[in-house]
Amino acid sequence: MVFNSIPFVLFFVVVFFVYWFPLKKSTKAQNVFLLVASYFFYGYADWKMLPLLMVTTAVFYFLGIGISRAKTEKAASWLRTLGVVLGVGVLLYFKYLNFFIESFANLFESMGLHTNWHTFNIIMPLGVSFFTFRLISYVIDVYNGEVEPTEDVVEFATYIAFFPCILSGPIDKPKFISQLHQKREFNYDQAVDGMRQILWGLFKKLVVADNCAVYVDNVFSTYTNQTGSTLLLAVVFYSFQLYADFSGYSDMAIGIGKLLGFRITRNFNYPFFALNMADFWRRWHMSLTTWVTDYVFTPLNFRFRRWGKTGMILAIVINMLVVGLWHEANWTYVLFGLYHGLLFVPLILSGAFMKKAKLRTNRFGLPVLKDFGRMLMTFALVLAGWIIVRSESIGMAWEYFCGMMQFGTLRSSYRFFVQPDLWPANLFIVVMLVVEWLQRSKEHGLELRLLKQYWIRYLITMIVVFSICCFGKFGENTFIYFQF
Amino acid sequence: MRKFIINILAYLFPIGSVISGINCLVDPSLVYSGSKYEKEMVEMLLASKKNVTNVELNYKERVFKSLLCENYSDSVDIVVLGSSRVMCISEKYFQ
């Protein structure tokens, strides 16, 4: 049941009206209903894994209480470690076990040692990377005293399984539980903004991402027969597809949260306008980068502090390897993490790593030439990383990269580029970039609260709606990040 | 909440109207045309006694066949019903 499907619309309409009408007066009843709806949503997608979600939730709920009631610091620390091991263990078993077995078997084979290891038939639960990160952060934050452990099991279970975020994030920190504790009033402005954010997310997903997907899938499946310039174009398109797909999902999740009276963590802050790699990772998948910064980078950086810049480089490389491996158990993602980790090295050595890059504009509202160059440079570096992500193996990534370097004729890629089916993708990528540039100080591209005239807001919204109706790809296209 | 619902309807009504208007006008599934399309097909078929090609995929086959039987002027002794495989059955099998 993806957000852009009829079953989800029907599901959400029922949830919305039951939540705000019969249950309006009781926060507890609203929470119970949200939990039931979230489990239904998860069960609809993958009912076999619902017991796993419930059991892990129960275990971590008791661990949180155990940490807060522990009589000694050592006992609390032990329970926290147990929680982290359990969370990582679930992730390792379901996501990485087969990967490690295969990798070590291949390693031993290459060394001439024959192993009789076989992989297991393990089904990866949907959203496992997202809900285990929420569980782990809960025990750590309770131990660090950053949040009070909740005694209300419904609140805790709703935080873990909250249906807008369970399958593909954003990964909210445990502070989100306080929102479940507070009484929620229907806020008209917030709800309207939520609807617009959902609409903008739908536009990005159906009009931009799914139109780009046709071209990208075509080129990547026949990459050995394509010219270098066509391969380059396909990666550029892939970067827009990935962004529009994932940020579109995040916008829809945040918008749904707003309709239910919640503030969900922001996940993207216009990453195409990043001025360097550190700036890019502050803008891309922000909930994940904040998570790994808090629970991986900061402790490592503290531990390696005696080694100065070398320690910081080591911490950031490990941090980015975790980010890479978090996505998928594949060597391509290890390479992706390593690549991005190494891109931080010049920033750390020059001292620009901690500085927040500020985008400057000229009198026409466009970026100044120097910043525009930095944006293009960052985009080019990011593109190379996307080749690794989109490839099925490191070998394919290398072949693709080599193919791209043999630039070939522009005519063939031009022919590819001006295909009749491709013009909506070309046009709406530009539209998306222009809108997001103009709205870069706002939370999302369709935030129109400051526009005073109702008819202008109405007109803009209608244009977006009709663009979706006329140019959206309606079908069974799922979201890229569901696989993680 | 009332204001919010009215606002949603203010958007949904024109969108729904345009979508249903276009569907009515284009009528890709031949829902609103009654059996006009099938009648035309039968007329063409009976006039030429040959095949009718390039037809809309969504035509109502049952209506078409009923109309064909009703309007067929030649007298028939046997009607063979079935899938396209019945085309393999020729007159000689009944002689």
Distance CA A398, CA A74 (A): 49
pLDDT at residue number A408: 64
Helix (H, G, I), strand (E, B), or coil: what is residue A361?
strand
Sign of CA dihedral A223, A229, A235, A237: negative
**Cβ contact, residue pair B4, A469, below 8 Å:** no
pLDDT at residue number A412: 67
Residue with tokens 């229907």: A186
Q: Identify whether the C-beta of residue A224 lies closer than 8 Å to the C-beta of residue A173.
A: no
**Cβ contact, residue pair A469, B1, below 8 Å:** no
Q: Is A465 on the interface with B (CB under 8 A)?
A: yes
Enter the DSSP assignment of A266: P
Q: Is A363 exposed, middle or buried (0-12, 13-18, 19+ CB in 10 A)?
A: exposed
Q: Is A20 on the interface with B (CB under 8 A)?
A: yes
- CB < 8 Å & 24+ apart, contacts of A178-187: A178/A147, A179/A262, A179/A263, A180/A27, A180/A31, A180/A155, A181/A27, A181/A150, A181/A152, A181/A155, A182/A27, A183/A27, A184/A27, A184/A30, A184/A260, A184/A261, A184/A262, A185/A261, A186/A20, A186/A24, A186/A261, A186/B1, A186/B4, A187/A261
User: Is A327 considered catalytic here?
Assistant: yes
More confident residue, A141 or B86: A141
CA distance A210 to chain B (A): 21
A192 chain-B contacts, CB cut-off 8 A:
4, 7
Distance CA A237, CA A272 (A): 13
Distance CA A439, CA A282 (A): 18
Distance CA A21, CA A15 (A): 10
Q: Which of A114, A181, A327, A340 is catalytic?
A: A327
Q: Which candidate in A6, A185, A465, A474 is best for mutational testing of the B interface (most B CBs within 10 A)? A: A465
pLDDT at residue number A105: 84
Q: Rounded to the nearest 10 degrees, how much is the dihedral formed by the CA atoms of A250, A256, A259, A262?
A: -60
pLDDT at residue number A96: 87
Per-residue pLDDT of chain A (484 residues; tens, 9 = 90+): 788 888 999 999 999 999 999 998 899 999 999 999 999 999 998 889 999 999 999 999 999 999 999 999 999 999 999 999 999 999 999 988 888 888 888 888 888 887 777 888 888 888 899 999 999 999 999 999 999 999 999 999 999 999 999 988 799 999 999 999 999 999 999 999 999 999 999 999 999 999 898 889 888 998 888 888 888 889 999 999 999 999 999 999 999 999 999 999 999 999 999 999 999 999 999 999 999 999 999 999 999 999 988 999 999 999 999 999 998 888 999 999 999 999 999 999 988 887 887 888 888 889 999 999 999 999 999 999 999 999 988 999 999 998 888 766 666 667 766 777 788 888 999 999 999 999 999 999 999 888 888 899 999 999 999 999 888 888 766 777 666 6
Distance CA A418, CA A397 (A): 26
Q: What is the pTM of this model?
A: 0.86
Distance CA A325, CA A336 (A): 9
Q: Between A188, A466, A469, which is nearest B4 by CB?
A: A188
CA distance A188 to chain B (A): 6
pLDDT at residue number A20: 94
Q: Between B3, B15, B18, which is nearest A188 by CB?
A: B3
Distance CA B83, CA A429 (A): 48
Q: Identify whether the C-beta of residue A362 lies closer than 8 Å to the C-beta of residue A352.
A: no
Interface pTM, i.e. ipTM: 0.75
Distance CA B14, CA B18 (A): 6
pLDDT digits (tens, 9 = 90+) for B13-61: 998 999 899 888 888 878 887 888 889 888 888 887 677 777 777 888 8
Distance CA A422, CA A211 (A): 7
CA distance B60 to chain A (A): 25
pLDDT at residue number B49: 67
